[in-house]
Structure 1
């Protein structure tokens, strides 16, 4: 395994772990702040939008390369 392959795998593994951790943080924030259904939906919607932008960026990088 060369350095480029290691960096690619590390980005996906660490990025996936970070996304899972962010879901836990948002869930805990919604629970502690008593955001309700709509507030929790908005919080997770924004997090989902950020993840979607990351995935779209990766698709564009692979398409344009």
Structure 2
């Protein structure tokens, strides 16, 4: 495995783990603050948009070659 392959694999694995951990943090934030259904939806929508943008960027770079 070359250095470039290792860096690419580790980037996707580490970022995926970070995204999963961030979803856990959002869930804990919503449950501890007793946000209710609408508040929980708002938390996941607003904080999840940044993660969605990162994922969408990666998908678009794969789908649309330069």
State the TM bucket, normalised to the shorter chain.
0.7 to 0.9
How many matched pairs? 65
How far apart, in 2, do the equivalents of 1:50 and 1:56 lie?
10
Q: Name structure 2 gaps, 5 residues minimum.
A: none
* Residue 48 of structure 1 pairs with residue 48 of structure 2: yes
Q: Give RMSD over aligned pairs.
A: 1.3
For normalisation by structure 1, the TM-score amounts to 0.86
How far apart, in 2, do the equivalents of 1:15 and 1:56 lie?
14
Q: Name structure 1 gaps, 5 residues minimum.
A: none
For normalisation by structure 2, the TM-score amounts to 0.85
